[in-house]
Structure 1
Amino acid sequence: MTTTSERQMLPRPVRAGTSLLMLGGSIAMVAMMLHICADVLSRRFLGTPIVGTLEYVTYLYMVAVVFLPLGRVQEERGHVIVEVVSQLMPARVNLWVDRGAQLFTLAYVTFIAWWGWMETVRSFTRNEVVTVIQTDFPLWPTRLLVPLGLAAMSFVIVVQLAQSFRSGSQPPHSDPAAH
């Protein structure tokens, strides 16, 4: 896990944006937990489930929990890093391997963000909905969370790469022992 001083290496607006998205993901997690607990209690004590729990968890909560925090995870360099071979390489080689991995990740994540945006637009133009309690719940707002979270991750990668090339040093990795 990175320290506060390592997080502060990124510009303040970037940190504020990732913090806001992380807060959104955290709120979705708490809301999902409360919704599921209420559904379980309703089944147990009232003998009837809360209608729409599965739909809300699937189409709203889980999407927010998975995609909104991606920028913060990248900011903290919290994604899985396999260092079996890199431990044997010199620091200069590791620097370029890390940059190459970040460039590949940037291309991949940016493509998926673009694809997610296209799916959001398609969902909006088709007025895609899921019916919950005889009410049509539009899907495009939740589909928008996918490209939003991935765009935040892409932006953080761009900032990290720019800092890496500007300073000529490798950004700090998270300490595996701290997790």
Structure 2
Amino acid sequence: MMVSEGDRLGVPLGRWRRVGHVATRVLEVAAAAIVLYMVAAILANVISRTFFGVPITGTTEMVGYVWLPAVACLGFVVAQARGQSIEADILFSRLPTQIRREARFFTSSVAAVACLGFAWFGATEAVHALNIGQTAPASDVFIAPVYVLVPFAFGVLVVLFAGDAVAALRGKFDVEHDASEDTDVLALTREDF
């Protein structure tokens, strides 16, 4: 069976995009739910401390050592998957198309390799944390499971950056720079202000 260019592994590309979109949406909802939980937990802790004189044990540790890193890891993946990471392309947009392709391929490849290193290190740390039953400093709050999110997040980022590198070689990001849109600051006159 011959697989067309729009297919990967015999599955239409549209299906992969839908799966990616659904997965991204699930991660967004999970991150939003975690943020709402953090707000509720902190608010409950403040109310308990203020009105009853007794804080809720472990709230600060759970928020700071479990839920906040979870939101950060999920946010990294969602931002990259949606293409909404910060890009400073002041110089990049002025490069010729072929050099832009190569630069995007190179930077995406370096990012994928760096993320692979972080995923590997994170995996070894996660295994260690689970083996020793890692707790938050100066408390008994069990925080080892959140360590598993690090290799997960960076593993997904490896795939996303590798996909960007391949897409760059195929010309997906090619957009010709229109020099007429440039504004020469030195050419501005007093009337322009």
Asked if the contact 1:113/1:148 (under 8 Å) is kept, the reply is yes
Instruction: Report the counterpart of residue 168 of structure 1 in structure 2.
Output: 171
Alpha-carbon offset, residue 54 of structure 1: 1.0
Alpha-carbon offset, residue 161 of structure 1: 2.8
When the two structures are superposed, what TM-score results if normalisation uses the length of structure 2? 0.73
CA distance in 2, matches of 1:80, 1:153: 15
Instruction: Report the counterpart of residue 30 of structure 2 in structure 1.
Output: 24
Helix, strand or coil for the counterpart of 1:67? helix
Instruction: Report the counterpart of residue 145 of structure 1 in structure 2.
Output: 149
Helix, strand or coil for the counterpart of 1:11? helix
Alpha-carbon offset, residue 77 of structure 1: 2.0
Instruction: Report the counterpart of residue 176 of structure 1 in structure 2.
Output: none
Instruction: Report the counterpart of residue 157 of structure 1 in structure 2.
Output: 161
Cα distance, 1:83–1:71 mapped onto 2, change above 3 Å: same
Task: Show CA shifts across 1:53-91 (max 9, x none).
Answer: 111111211111100232221122222212222232223
CA distance in 2, matches of 1:11, 1:158: 16
Helix, strand or coil for the counterpart of 1:68? helix
Instruction: Report the counterpart of residue 67 of structure 2 in structure 1.
Output: 61
Instruction: Report the counterpart of residue 4 of structure 1 in structure 2.
Output: none
CA distance in 2, matches of 1:128, 1:107: 28
Alpha-carbon offset, residue 171 of structure 1: 7.1
Alpha-carbon offset, residue 107 of structure 1: 0.8
Asked if the contact 1:21/1:68 (under 8 Å) is kept, the reply is yes
Deviates further, 123-132 or 39-48: 123-132
- 1:120 alignment partner, one of 119, 126, 138: 126
Cα distance, 1:28–1:69 mapped onto 2, change above 3 Å: same
Q: Structure 1 vs Structure 2: percent identity of aligned residues?
A: 21
Rg: which structure is higher? 2
Asked if the contact 1:95/1:170 (under 8 Å) is kept, the reply is yes
Asked if the contact 2:104/2:168 (under 8 Å) is kept, the reply is no
Instruction: Report the counterpart of residue 46 of structure 1 in structure 2.
Output: 52
Instruction: Report the counterpart of residue 86 of structure 1 in structure 2.
Output: 92
Asked if the contact 2:62/2:141 (under 8 Å) is kept, the reply is no
For this pair of structures, how many residues does the alignment match? 162
Long gaps (5+) in structure 2: 1-13, 176-193
